[in-house]
Structure 1
Amino acid sequence: MDEVYELFKMLPDDLKREVLDYIEFLLERKGIKRAGTLKMEWKGALRELGKRYTSVELQHKSLEWWG
Structure 2
Amino acid sequence: MKSGIKDPIAVQRGVAVYTEVGQRSLTIPIDEKYLASASGHVTVQYVEPSDNGPLTIAETDAVLN
Q: Same fold, TM exceeding 0.5?
A: no
Structure with higher RCO (Cα < 8 A, 6+ apart): 2
TM-score, length basis structure 2: 0.25
Say which structure is richer in strand: 2
TM-score, length basis structure 1: 0.24
Say which structure is richer in helix: 1
